[in-house]
Amino acid sequence: MWITEFARRAGVRQTTVRHYLREGLLSPRTGPAGGSRPYLEFTESDLRLLSAIRAGQALGLSLQEIKLLIGERRSGSGHARMLKALTVQRDKLRGRALELQAMLTFIERKIAWLETGAKGPPPSHPANHAAKR
């Protein structure tokens, strides 16, 4: 399939596909059409790879980290590296989840304080507690 169909099926813009090509994340075959500038031929395998790239980004991995993991996977040595990268990312996400939960709790307390007429001292922001430690 050509880039237009590939981008449509992948649910991304052609500019995104071209960016991934420039970054070396995708390497489709070149087709015979196109004369001096052959067309790129994408496959179902490329669709799965793009899906994995997007999943990695959703997990917070950088394109460079994803590229490294793709390269190691292709060489057959990526299992241990992928496990380590995902474990590190999981730990980062857990930390971020704790921060977000603290912020959500603060907002809920602030809303409740405002709904009751802002009587008494306002709830303190979680960052204030962290700074005092």
Compute, in degrees rounded to 10, the torsion defined by CA atoms 116, 121, 122, 127: -160
Mean pLDDT, the chain, as a whole number? 87
Token representation of residue 106:
């603060």
- Is the pLDDT at 133 greater than 60? The verdict is no
Q: Where are the domains of the chain?
A: 3-76
Token representation of residue 86:
């995902």
pLDDT, tens digit, 9 for 90 and up, residues 2-21: 899 999 999 999 999 999 99
Token representation of residue 32:
């015979």
pLDDT, tens digit, 9 for 90 and up, residues 59-77: 888 999 899 888 877 777 7
Residue among 55, 46, 12, 9 at smallest CA distance from 26: 46
- Which CA distances in Å does 20 have to 49, 91, 125? 11, 27, 40
CATH of segment(s) 3-76: 1.10.1660.10
- Which CA distances in Å does 130 have to 34, 123, 126? 60, 14, 7
